[in-house]
Amino acid sequence: MSMSMNVSERRLPFPCVLAFDLGAGSGRAIIGEIVAEGAQGQGKLEITEVHRFPNVPVQIGSHLHWDTPRLLQEIKNGIRKAFQAGFQPESCGIDTWGVDFGLLDQNGELMGIPYHYRDRQTEGLVEEVSALAGPERLFRESGLQFMPFNTIYQLYAMKKAASPKLDNAATLLLTPDLLNYFLTGKRSCEFSMATTTGLYDPGQGAWNRKLMEELGLPGDIFPEPVPPGTVIGELTAEVCAELDVPPIQVVAVASHDTESAAAAVPAASSSFAYLVSGTWSLLGTQMPGPLLTPAVFEQQFSNEGGVDGSFHLLKNIMGLWILQECKRKWEQGSGDSFTFAELVRLAEEAKPLRSLIDPDDLRFMNPADMPEEIRGYCRETGQPEPDSAGGTVRCILESLALRYRQVLEQAEALTGSRFAGLHMVGGGVQNELLCGFTADAIGRPVWAGPVEASAIGNLLVQFRAAGRIKDMREGRELVKSSFPLRTFQPGSPERRAEWARAYKRYLRLAASPIGGRFRSGS
C-alpha cells in the first residue's frame, strides 16, 4: 500500500493512532503516523498494517450470523500487536459496514449472535413495511434507499417472529458501537451509523420514535447519536490487563465504512463524485444537508450522515460481491484456487461487451450459484451465455462500469452538478481493468486511490479529535500529498462509441421486467 512501512523500517516514533477497518470478508488493523518530511517539514501520513484477519459469517440453523466474539478477539489481537511492534497509539477507532446490530439486556449482556445483513429473514418486508407506513413517508423520514437489509426491516422481522430478544432488549448497538462497548463499557451510537438504520429522521435530526411505535418496535433502546470524533472512553481495566497495554482512548470515528472512505477522498474541489469500490460499490457526492426531494425518492438514492454534519447523497450498487461469489463457486466446484489477478487476466482475453447483466437485480443478492444466475439472466434476456470464467468476469466488470455511469448521471441530475471525473477509492481500485472500464463507460477520467480509504478516513478523524490536524480539509490535503493517484482516461473515439452503444443496451436490460432491483425502477 502507498506510503506504508514495515515495522523493521520504522524511524523514531511519531504520534500515532490505530484504525480497525472491518469489511464483509476481512478486517485489518492499521497504524497511522503523521511524520514531518522535507526542508519545510510538511506532513506525510504513513500507514502500517499490524494485523489482518478473516471475517467469515456463520450459518446456524436457518439464520446467517456474524462471528462477533471472534471479531472482538481479533480487535484485541490488533491492539496487542500494535504495542508489541513498538507503537504507542494515542487512540483507536473502528469502522464497519452499516445496518447490523447487537442487543443488550438490562445487565449489559449480549443477547444472541448478531444477524448478518444477507440473512433471509427480511425477504418481502420492504413491501410489507411500505404498505403499512407508505413508501413516500418512509423515504421522507429516513432519506434512505429501500434496501431489504436496513435495520428497520431486520427489527420488523424480529417483531413478526415474536423474538424474545427484542422484547427483553435494553439497548441496541450498531456493530462498531457494539465493539466499542466491549472495549470501553460505554454505550453510544455514532451519527453516520444511525443514518443507515431507516429509523433516524435526517430532517428532524432525531430518532423517528413515532414510526417505531407505529411498527411495534421499541423506541427506547437507541442511544442518542454522537458526532464523528467523539471520545467514547478508555479501554477498560479488564481489557488493559488482558492485553498488557495502557488505557488508550476509543474514538467514535465516522464508523460507517462508506463515510470513513468518503472522508479520505483526495478531491481538489468541494464538489466531487466518488465511488467506494469493494464488496459493495457506493457512488455518491458530499452535500451540506440531506436532499429529500421526490426526484431523489424516485431514483432511490440514500442520504447518509458524514463528518461535520455533512450528508452524502449516494446509491448502493451490488459491487464486487458478484465476482467474489463466482470465485468461491468455481473453487468449490473444481478444488482449484484462483487469484483475482488470474481472473482479471482471463477477462482481458475475453470478447468485449458480449453479455451484460443488471448488477442490482435481486437475484444476485445471495444466490446458491452465482455463475448460474448470471447465465440464467443472459438466457432470459436473449444474450449469449458466458461460456468461460474469463467471459463471466468480463461480463461482471463491464456491467458494473455501465451501472456506475447510470448512477453518476442520476446523481448529476439530482444535484444539478457536472463532475469532471470520478474518484475511485477502496480495495476495488486494485482491479485496474475495472478502473479502465469505468473511465470508458463514463467518458471521463477516473482517479484511483487510495486503496485503504476507509482506514485512512478513520485515522483522519482520530487525528482531528487529538488536535493533530485542524479540520477534514487539511486531512484531504494530507491524503493527496501522501498517497499517489493513478489516472485512467477513456479510450479512443471508436472505443467510446462502442461503450455508448453498450450503454443503450444496458439501459434496456435494466428496465426489463425479468427481475427486480432493490426497488423496482431504481
Same domain, 304 and 411: yes
Q: How many CA atoms lie within 13 A of 328 on its CB side?
A: 13
Q: What is the pLDDT, as a whole number, of residue 333?
A: 79
Q: Which residue, of 252, 285, 304, is where some domain finishes?
A: 252
Same domain, 291 and 409: yes
Number of domains forming the structure of the chain: 2
Q: What is the pLDDT, as a whole number, of residue 516?
A: 62
Q: Which residues contact 512 (CB under 8 A, 6 or more apart)?
A: 381
The answer to whether residue 98 sits within a structural domain is yes
Same domain, 233 and 289: no
In 381-458, beta strands by DSSP E: 422-425, 446-448
Same domain, 371 and 346: yes
Annotated active-site residue in 257, 358, 360, 361: 257
Which three cell numbers, joined as nine digits, stand for 375? Answer: 447465465
Q: Which residue, of 252, 284, 317, is where some domain finishes?
A: 252
The answer to whether residue 466 sits within a structural domain is no
Q: Which of 192, 414, 403, 205 is nearest to 301 (CA)?
A: 414
Distances (CA, A) of 116 to 150, 204, 439: 11, 29, 34
Q: Which structural domain range is residue 231 located in?
A: 16-252
The answer to whether residue 145 sits within a structural domain is yes
Q: Is the per-residue pLDDT at 4 higher than 80?
A: no
Same domain, 80 and 204: yes
- The three-class DSSP label of residue 32 is strand
What average pLDDT does range 290-305 have in this prediction? 97
Same domain, 228 and 329: no
Same domain, 172 and 240: yes
The larger pLDDT score, comparing residue 55 to residue 517, is at 55
Which three cell numbers, joined as nine digits, stand for 443? Answer: 467518458
Same domain, 130 and 103: yes
Write out pLDDT tens, residues 95-144: 999 999 999 999 999 999 999 999 999 999 999 999 999 999 999 999 99
Same domain, 355 and 407: yes
- What rounded mean pLDDT belongs to the chain? 94
CATH number at residue 51: 3.30.420.40
Write out pLDDT tens, residues 132-158: 999 999 999 999 999 999 999 999 999
Q: What is the pLDDT, as a whole number, of residue 389?
A: 96
Same domain, 188 and 306: no
What average pLDDT does range 9-29 have in this prediction? 83
Q: Is the per-residue pLDDT at 512 higher than 90?
A: no
Same domain, 353 and 416: yes
The answer to whether residue 262 sits within a structural domain is no
- Cis preceding-peptide flag for 89 (omega within 30 of 0): no
Q: What is the pLDDT, as a whole number, of residue 181?
A: 98
The answer to whether residue 155 sits within a structural domain is yes
The answer to whether residue 509 sits within a structural domain is yes
Same domain, 238 and 279: no
The answer to whether residue 479 sits within a structural domain is no
Catalytic residue check, 100: no
